[in-house]
Amino acid sequence: MLPLYGWSVPKLREHFKVIRGNTPSSVPIGMLYSGEYHTVVIASATSNTVAKCAFGISDTLPINLYAQAGKQCVSGIVFVCMRYGAGRHHASP
């Protein structure tokens, strides 16, 4: 997704601290409690991920991170990735 917006991981690192979770556990979530994060960004999120964030269903690592961030008053940004018109019904105008 980054290249679509003209960004690369090295370019991001020039401006931000970038932490990539490569573990199957929730190790990055523990860093929320030590003040490492000021914002949590989830990208690219499906409509299913957005719905789970809204209803508090934390069954994946990104959504669990989002939920824990909210408990620590850390801002959360969720970028939705949907094709234009994908959510419209064929009968709608």
> In the predicted model, what is the mean pLDDT of residues 16-32?
67
Contacts of 65 (CB under 8 A, 6+ apart): 21, 26, 28, 29, 32, 40, 42
Residue 52 CB neighbours (<10 A): 20
* pLDDT, tens digit (0-9, with 9 covering 90-100), for 29-64: 677 777 778 888 888 788 899 999 899 898 888 888
67 touches 58 (CB < 8 A): yes
Residue 25, pLDDT above cutoff 80: no
pLDDT of residue 90: 54
* Confidence class for position 87, pLDDT limits 50, 70, 90: low
pLDDT of residue 31: 74
Q: 91 vs 61, which has greater pLDDT?
A: 61
Percentage of the chain modeled with pLDDT above 70:
74
> In the predicted model, what is the mean pLDDT of residues 51-80?
88
Residues 4, 82: Cα–Cα separation, whole Å: 14
Task: Parse the chain into domains and list their residue ranges.
Answer: 27-83
